[in-house]
Amino acid sequence: MYISNLGMTNMKRRASVRKICKNCRMIRRRGRLIVSCSNLRHKQRQK
């Protein structure tokens, strides 16, 4: 069975996350820090 991941983006997992540009936003979800941005390359999650 093949399931497509179209429309879903993977995020980088890092020990320390930081804002990369002015559009990046820091969000805390389920005890983890997440960086969300309009530029999908900047998406990060803390390990």
φ/ψ region of 20 (left if φ > 0, alpha if ψ in -120 to 50, else beta) reads alpha
Position 20 in a domain:
yes
Q: Identify the pLDDT of residue 10.
A: 83
Position 18 in a domain:
yes
Q: Which domain holds residue 41?
A: 12-46
Q: Identify the pLDDT of residue 43.
A: 95
Q: Identify the pLDDT of residue 28.
A: 96
Q: What is the pLDDT along the chain (47 residues), one digit of tens a residue?
A: 555 555 556 889 999 999 999 999 999 999 999 999 999 999 999 98
Position 1 in a domain:
no
Position 3 in a domain:
no
Position 6 in a domain:
no
Give 32's Cβ-side CA count (13 Å radius): 12
Position 39 in a domain:
yes
SS3 14: strand
Position 32 in a domain:
yes
Cα torsion 11, 8, 26, 40: sign: positive
Q: Identify the pLDDT of residue 8.
A: 56
Q: How many domains does the chain have?
A: 1
